[in-house]
């Protein structure tokens, strides 16, 4: 499965009206593209109207529907991997915070955990405390990653007890208080990083959602000590007005984790 970059386009929806805004060039290119306007409704808050309008006009949302992807977020992993090419056939991948399953879909496709059995087949193990509908080639654990039994359960599922890639798109529900939200996401990122250092094979890769302003010093130091290269990445699919950012650590040194 190759995920095409969505063109700037739009779809029509209930209660929406379109206005012309030029030609598209990607999937569906050549067709007249419409910008969807959502009329305010008595019972809908202005913020909900704005959200709806943004969804209807978001080319990634449109592409995810068209291409059967579980989430818009799938394009973030797809774009990061298109650039850095760390997902390879046969690898074992752990997807932390997997629901509804977009990243797992991309990983399963790229490590070839879907087709056939036998040598060369990859593996994807996914965890979320929310349910994930079954996905071909993905083993799903429904559990809080911070649960004391979670890491052992993931390891027990992994072939050989180890992984080649650890992905984390985990994000706790925001409370709207920036500092609290930042601390919660960084807490999850730190736990994910320690798990990655524990489970990755030498040469392994860790990709994790953090927050703009960068990765907390302590976490960055742990990653720099344990990986050959550490960089921050913001794929085009990550909205520019969002504080979301990813840290990509490659070439895991594979020594005993340095705390
Ligand atoms: C942005 S969504 C992930 C989207 C996913 N990458 C995709 O492409 O479909 C973040 C997910 O992290 C999960 N999450 C947050 N905290 C978690 C935790 N402690 N344990 C497991 N999952 C967690 C949430 O339930 C949510 O489904």
% of the chain at pLDDT higher than 90: 62
DSSP 174-223: P-S-HHHHHHHHHHHHHHHHHHHHHHEEEEEEEEEEEETT-S-HHHHHHH
Whose alpha carbon is nearest atom 7 of ligand 1? 102
Of 116 and 129, more confident: 129
**Per-residue confidence at 8, pLDDT binned at 50, 70, 90?**
very low
Distance of CA 68 to the CA centre of its chain: 16
Q: Give me ligand 1 centre to Cα 209, in Å.
A: 10
What pLDDT, on the 0 to 100 scale, is given for residue 215? 65
Write the pLDDT tens digit of every residue in 124-182.
Answer: 999 999 999 999 999 999 999 999 999 999 999 999 999 999 999 999 888 888 778 88
Of 100 and 254, more confident: 100
Q: Is the CB of 71 under 6 A from ligand 1?
A: yes
> Can you name the residues that pair with 18 across neighbouring β-strands?
36
* Known catalytic residue at 12: no
What pLDDT, on the 0 to 100 scale, is given for residue 50? 73
Both structure tokens of 142: 């429904």
For the cut 60, the answer to whether the pLDDT of residue 26 exceeds it is no
Whose alpha carbon is nearest atom 27 of ligand 1? 99
Q: What is the mean pLDDT of the chain?
A: 84
Please report, for the chain, the start and end positions of each structural domain, with discontinuous segments joined by +.
Answer: 16-66, 74-252
For the cut 80, the answer to whether the pLDDT of residue 97 exceeds it is yes
Q: Give me ligand 1 centre to Cα 14, in Å.
A: 29
Q: Is the CB of 129 under 6 A from ligand 1?
A: yes
Regarding the domain delimited by 74-252, which CATH topology (the fold level of the hierarchy) does it fall under? Rossmann fold (3.40.50)
Write the pLDDT tens digit of every residue in 208-254.
Answer: 999 876 668 889 999 999 999 999 999 999 999 888 899 999 999 98
Orientation of helix 102-111 relative to helix 74-84, angle to 10°: 40
Q: Which helix (H) or strand (E) holds 247?
A: strand 244-252
> Can you name the residues that pair with 245 across neighbouring β-strands?
210
Mean pLDDT is lowest, of 46-50, 75-79, 127-131, for 46-50
Contact assessment for residue 226 and residue 249, using Cβ atoms and an 8 Å cutoff = yes
Both structure tokens of 237: 């699919």
How far apart CA 87 and CA 109 sit, in angstroms, is: 9
pTM, to two decimals: 0.84
């Amino acid at each position: 499965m190759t995920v095409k970059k969505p063109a700037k386009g739009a779809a029509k929806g209930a209660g929406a009206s379109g206005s012309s805004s030029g030609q598209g060039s990607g999937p569906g290119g050549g067709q007249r593209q419409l910008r969807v306007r959502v009329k305010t409704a008595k019972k809908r808050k202005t913020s909900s109207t704005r959200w709806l309008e943004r969804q209807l006009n978001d080319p990634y949302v449109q592409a995810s529907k068209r291409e059967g992807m579980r989430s818009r977020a799938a394009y973030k992993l797809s774009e990061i991997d298109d650039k850095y090419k760390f997902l390879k056939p046969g690898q074992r991948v752990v997807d932390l915070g997997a629901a509804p399953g977009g990243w797992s879909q991309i990983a399963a496709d790229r490590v070839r955990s879907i087709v056939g059995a036998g040598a060369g087949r990859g593996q994807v193990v996914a965890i979320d405390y929310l349910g994930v509908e079954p996905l071909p080639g993905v083993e799903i654990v429904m559990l809080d990653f911070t649960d004391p039994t979670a890491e052992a359960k993931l390891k027990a599922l992994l072939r050989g007890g180890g992984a080649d890639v650890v992905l984390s798109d985990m994000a706790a529900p925001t409370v709207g208080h920036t500092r609290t939200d930042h601390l919660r996401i960084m807490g999850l990122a730190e736990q994910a990083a320690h798990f990655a250092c524990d489970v990755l094979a030498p040469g392994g890769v860790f990709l994790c959602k953090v927050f703009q302003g960068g990765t907390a010093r302590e976490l960055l130091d742990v990653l720099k000590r344990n990986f050959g290269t550490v960089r921050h990445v913001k794929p085009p699919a990550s909205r520019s007005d969002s504080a979301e950012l990813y840290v990509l650590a490659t070439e895991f040194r594979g020594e005993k984790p340095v705390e």
